[in-house]
Amino acid sequence: MKDIKIAVIGLGYVGLPLARLFSTKYPTVGYDLNPKRVEELMSGHDSTFEVDDSLLQSALAGGFRCTTDLEEIRACNFYVVAVPTPIDKNNNPDLRPLYGASETVGKVISKGDIVVYESTVYPGVTEDECVPIVERVSGLKYNIDFFAGYSPERINPGDKEHTVEKIKKVTSGSTPETARIVNEVYASVITAGTHPAPSIKVAEAAKVIENAQRDINIAFVNELAKIFNRMGIDTQAVLEAAATKWNFLHFKPGLVGGHCIGVDPYYLAQCAQQYGYNPEIILAGRRMNDGMGEYVADQVVKLMLKKGIQVLNSKILVLGFTFKENCPDVRNTRVIDIVRTLQQYNAHVTVHDPWANPEVARREYGVEIVNELPRDTFDAVILAVAHDTFKEIDFDTLKNGHTVIYDVKGILQGNIDGKL
């Protein structure tokens, strides 16, 4: 394939960094359904902070553009789909964004073109679910008129060290020639290199087990935290001692949310069940991690009662609402479980997060958050997210004489009442 022209569909945490990177080597257009998002990006600002404004503005000056107009991506011949793959309220995979993106590709794809999917899915989705939609809408035949690839995203939101070009990329294609082209395109911009997988299904499976493995490991240390808490043993101290052995895997207890680790295991479980196997360890890990927010809230309530603090109508401050530190992403944040459990006790909960967008938190979760640290005292303070700015807080200014301090992330020094 000569004169590659790339269209990236979906300009969120995954699509934008990738589109910006591709634009350094190829004519690239970013497509998104959200006019406000496109307008923001074309003004040279990324509200997710995944791409520095200086890099975005440089890309725009070099010819990169973002659009909501399908006609502007019709001339492209290498389509990359980077839309979210969430779960529904019953923890079942929600492939609707992927179906919609496939219809979009079907409307503009031409003979000889390639469509590469980056969205996390279970094995088989690309070829069995997405490609038939492209065929139906376009009227073209798969592996005759157009071709497909899969290269799973590995973006780590908020991580300024492991940026997209520094993370090794798995690539795959529907034919040997397609696999070669897809790999060459990615290898031309990914400085960390690529790993060609033998098939699309292998690449899909590789991605979905990456996060399932991490989820299970975190579930193990979360269970350890529950055990050691009952025994009066410092979990962090235990993990530090155990980590002195060269082959010990170092994970920390905590809340597990976000668009990957807290979601992908459900995709793998769904796939297993379709083949008649009921996964045990995967779903047990999910149950453990999904229950940690409620566990934290209950631990705080117990500590308050031990201090003689009345929980009813008490004032509790939760520090952090995003699913991880130093980024504005609130997708699938499990901090909400802490907040809702405390509200069930009729406590007055204030949520402070300097990174999160209050409008998004209100729309997605019905929670009011404040970006500025309140000038008030509280009956309990819970550090839920390890934002760098929280390390500079003088917690004495938040205390009312009997305040419970609980550290979910294990980063606070000095006298605290409880931690995972």
- Enumerate long-range contacts of 137-142, CB under 8 Å, 24 or more apart: 137/102, 137/103, 137/105, 137/106, 137/107, 138/105, 138/106, 138/107, 138/109, 140/109, 140/111, 142/174
Element housing 264 (H / E): helix 264-274
Sign of CA dihedral 334, 335, 338, 341: negative
Q: Are 136 and 102 in contact (CB under 8 A)?
A: no
* Residue 130 appears among annotated catalytic residues: no
Q: Report the SS3 class of residue 269.
A: helix
Tokens of 241: 């001692």
Taking alpha carbons only, the member of 401, 394, 298, 277 closest to residue 341 is 298
DSSP 271-321: HHHHTT---SHHHHHHHHHHTHHHHHHHHHHHHHHHTT---TT-EEEEE--
Radius of gyration of the chain (CA): 23
Angle between helices 292-306 and 200-231 (to 10 degrees): 10
Catalytic residue among 66, 76, 130, 260: 260
Q: Report the SS3 class of residue 209.
A: helix
Q: Are 252 and 292 in contact (CB under 8 A)?
A: no
Measured in degrees and rounded to the nearest 5, phi and psi for residue 169 equal -110, 130
Report how far residue 291's alpha carbon sits from residue 255's, in angstroms, rounded to the nearest whole number: 9
Q: Are 96 and 126 in contact (CB under 8 A)?
A: no
Burial readout 183-195 (b: 16 or more C-beta within 10 A, e: otherwise): bebbeebbeeebe
Q: Which residues are catalytic?
A: 260
